[in-house]
Structure 1
Amino acid sequence: MTGTRQLHNIGRRRAYAIWATALAVYVLAVFHRTSLGVAGLIAADRFDINGSQLATFTVLQLAVYAAMQIPVGVMLDRFGSKALIVGGLIAMTVGQLWFSVTDSYGLALCARALLGAGDAMLFTSILRLIALWFLVRQAPVITQLTGMVGQMGAVAAAIPLSAALHAWGWTMTYASAAFLGVIAIVAILVVVKDSPYERGAVEKIKIRALRNSLGEIWRDPGTRLGLSVHFTTQFAPTVFALLWGYPFLVAGQGLTPGRASALLTWMTFVALFAGPTIGRWTSRYPYYRSVMALSVVGAISLVWAIVLARPTQSPLWLLIILVSVTGFGGPGSMIAFDLARSFHRSERYGRASGMVNMGGFIASLTTMALVGMILDRLAPGGPDTYTLDDFRVAMSSQFLLWGFGAWMIWRYRRHSLRRAARVPGAFEALRDGSTLLPGISRDRDDD
């Protein structure tokens, strides 16, 4: 930042130590977020609930996550990453511990809502650390690695968690998972520092000016472009992994539960390896980031169209292609935060990232609801009566959001380029491969 003394080197060992510690926290957050995936039947028995009530756990958790993004962005710019990460860990730890001991459905919902609120504080806080502690050319790849390595938490929430539930039981398993948060809090307090600069790029926001500040950030076409990219790329793998993928593969495509679980795990590994590739590409060609996002959306929608157009169940090789291509949506959604970084100074990055992060989760909740409502109408007898034809209609609702999102990306790409062209040197810097633009986002000389 101009006029601010730099105290620590960026992009070096200290930066990687801070990032690795924060990354471990994000892996834990994803583990907590997806920890109900393999425990659905046990939860239904423990709380004496039906399928719709079980799905409410996931929907409520994501709804709280999405609703918290703007408040979290404001607090992030005001208090910094370290405070928000610690606060998020405390909320998740308490929520998971509460979930481990209650046998009341209502109280369990409150616990999952608290877990969702804590989860909401973490990802954008880590992105802010990356933006401040790494070189411009490093940040896109580090961001991709953060999103993808974090998904290892979903892998840990599958087979290992299932084994723990059967060996230790409900309370001990979830209480042990909660205890990991205590260890993470200590690590964050010891290792993480908000900024390498003398002043931590924390903007002291007055309450009366908050509305104007948020309005300015929202009106920036770069914010809307980032939100559009996140909206369009992220929802397909999220909906597939958290709620409807398993029923689609088992009830619709006739796979065994074991094969369906293996495909969901495979999707996570595909995303893990795709992330660095997309990160390097977007770092090298920032002018074409939104084009890359559109290409990802086009590939996902094409494969889904082929699968859903088949009058019979798809062969296993085609389903492997389906989950593999769908897995690219996660890394594709990380492009959104790189776009936000290009169009905002670092002291506003928290609020901008919060707005961007809302996009994918709004789309995910909308899709979950649409698929559920269509299935309820076509198969009023419940999950035991779902057929391939029912899923063919219900999963086709994704095309509504892909089409709308692609239109938004194309629209705000043009608006963002026009804005960059109005600022001397910014458009040229973008074409030359820079992601921090003179007069727009460049507030430190680190590239």
Structure 2
Amino acid sequence: MWLMWGIGVAGYVLSVTNRTSLSAVGIDAQHRFDADASTLAMFAVLQLAVYGFMQLPVGVWLDKWGARPIMAIGMVLMAVGQVVMAFSPSVGVAIAARMLLGAGDAAIFPSVLRLVAVWFPAQRSSVMMQLTGICGQLGQVIALVPVPFLLHATSWEVTFGSLAGGAIVFSVLIAAAVRNHPAQMTEDVSVNTDTGAITVVTSQVDTRVGIRAAWEHPGTRLAFWTHFTTPFAGSAFLMLWGIPFLTAAEGFSIGQASAITSVFVGAGIVIGPIVGAFSARHPKRRSRFLVLPAVYAQIVVWGAVLLWPSPVPAWLLVLLMVALAMGGPASMVAFDFARAFNPAHRLSTATGITNVGGFLAGLLAILFIGIAMDVQGASRPELYTDTAFRWAFATQVPLWILGIAMIIRERAMIARRSG
């Protein structure tokens, strides 16, 4: 049980490392490919778009073949993407490499969640999901610290080639050690050890009737908008724009910037179990006392950072990392909403809809920031300014406003439907 989860989570850590491997070396990528800010944003935008698109076929393949082969193939795709990235001769090929990486990355997290559902008792799945998400974020620390150190100590080819090598090693480990289900089971099923109920685990999204039926329930829409609103600011900062902002605009060294952004992961590890415990004990208060406060905290601290006279003090940036870290655990509450408001046969579809929300908001935030930098004439690292970044980060505000409004609306509709 724990061996399956341990290998799966280690693979997820590696996938997060690969996903965010440009986070601390974005400026190096701009110099290497002679790219402006909007083009740099496209690296992450198209990667996330492919990730989101691949959720549908991944669900189908998981139901057909189980977690082991899908995870192994995902690792191979990520390895190929990183090899192409390592030796890419142009920005177009490099973007294609990130899209290939996104396709491989899309297979990992759903596969790990399937392993959790099959190998652990059903009543522990919520806690294990939170724990999986928390552990996975350690991959961001690897992307923020060892990756740039390796790049500046060796070369672009060695750095991304090393990431590819790690993915190949894990593809072999997964193929050799992971099992789709316990030996006493003949198929992927979830067992509730309290009641004895056995349920077939389904990952496939029903694209015919299921999507419409799931979306018609305000609980699914609440899940979607919760996942849309809570994590995108952290994703945009950690995946691409945080290190350039801290180094080129605020004057921190790459080591100092990595240390500041690493607080995001540490804070998430602390906040996650607290959110999970509160969510389990107060299921009817989650949106009011967990989700919306996490969003409000991000808005307030980001507002303080944007309005503070330059340079922004390190303590405020650390506080920003803590506020952004609240978004990750809060976003996991969205999947609890999806489970609570949908019957078992529609759960995978509702989960897929929910997952799309976070990645849609993330790619929009990343793209809007890149476009705003170009519009202000700050398209290249040597042209980055504190003022340009502040206006660019302000483009996140409409996404927050939209998300908050929709969360409040769907909460009210659920209350009316229940009453």
Sort the TM-score into its range (normalised by shorter chain): 0.7 to 0.9
Partner of 1:396: 394
Work out the CA distance in 2 between the residues paired with 1:222 and 1:75: 27
Unaligned 5+ segments in structure 2 are 189-199
Q: Secondary structure at the match of 1:173?
A: helix
Partner of 2:260: 263
Give the TM-score taking structure 1 as reference length.
Answer: 0.82
Q: Describe the shift of the 1:408–1:378 C-alpha distance in structure 2 as closer, same or farther (beyond 3 A).
A: same
Partner of 1:366: 364
Unaligned 5+ segments in structure 1 are 1-13, 423-447
Instruction: Write the mapping of 1:27-42 to structure 2, written as runs, cut at 5 A.
Output: 27-42=13-28
Q: Secondary structure at the match of 1:65?
A: helix
Q: Secondary structure at the match of 1:102?
A: coil
Instruction: Select between 182-191 and 316-325 the one with higher mean Cα deviation.
Output: 182-191
Alignment deviations for residues 87-143 of structure 1 (CA, whole Å, 9 cap, x no partner): 322211222223233333322222211100111122123223323433455323221
Equivalent residues of 2:229, 2:403 under 8 A apart = yes
Work out the CA distance in 2 between the residues paired with 1:373 and 1:165: 27
Q: Describe the shift of the 1:305–1:203 C-alpha distance in structure 2 as closer, same or farther (beyond 3 A).
A: closer
Partner of 2:324: 326
Equivalent residues of 1:77, 1:351 under 8 A apart = no
Equivalent residues of 2:373, 2:379 under 8 A apart = no
Partner of 1:297: 295
Work out the CA distance in 2 between the residues paired with 1:61 and 1:381: 21
Q: CA deviation at 1:394?
A: 2.3
Aligned-partner residue type, residue 319 of structure 2: I
Say if 2:283 is the partner of 1:286: yes
Count of residue pairs the alignment pairs up? 405
Work out the CA distance in 2 between the residues paired with 1:121 and 1:218: 24
Instruction: Select between 130-139 and 361-370 the one with higher mean Cα deviation.
Output: 130-139
Work out the CA distance in 1 between the residues paired with 2:98 and 2:128: 29
Q: Describe the shift of the 1:57–1:281 C-alpha distance in structure 2 as closer, same or farther (beyond 3 A).
A: same
Alignment deviations for residues 146-198 of structure 1 (CA, whole Å, 9 cap, x no partner): 11211111211232223333444333332232222233223333443434554
Say if 2:236 is the partner of 1:230: no
Q: Secondary structure at the match of 2:231?
A: helix
Instruction: Write the mapping of 1:38-437 to structure 2, written as runs, cut at 5 A.
Output: 38-195=24-181, 197-200=185-188, 201=200, 210-291=207-288, 292-346=290-344, 348-379=346-377, 382-416=380-414, 421=418
Instruction: Select between 26-35 and 47-56 the one with higher mean Cα deviation.
Output: 47-56
Equivalent residues of 1:46, 1:103 under 8 A apart = no
Equivalent residues of 1:73, 1:353 under 8 A apart = no
Partner of 2:5: 19
Percent of aligned pairs sharing the same letter: 41
Aligned-partner residue type, residue 264 of structure 2: M
Equivalent residues of 2:48, 2:102 under 8 A apart = yes
Q: CA deviation at 1:204?
A: 10
Q: Describe the shift of the 1:384–1:98 C-alpha distance in structure 2 as closer, same or farther (beyond 3 A).
A: closer
Equivalent residues of 1:74, 1:351 under 8 A apart = no
Q: Secondary structure at the match of 1:157?
A: helix
Instruction: Select between 309-318 and 266-275 the one with higher mean Cα deviation.
Output: 309-318
Q: Describe the shift of the 1:173–1:260 C-alpha distance in structure 2 as closer, same or farther (beyond 3 A).
A: closer
Q: Secondary structure at the match of 1:314?
A: coil
Work out the CA distance in 2 between the residues paired with 1:122 and 1:156: 18
Q: Describe the shift of the 1:178–1:387 C-alpha distance in structure 2 as closer, same or farther (beyond 3 A).
A: closer
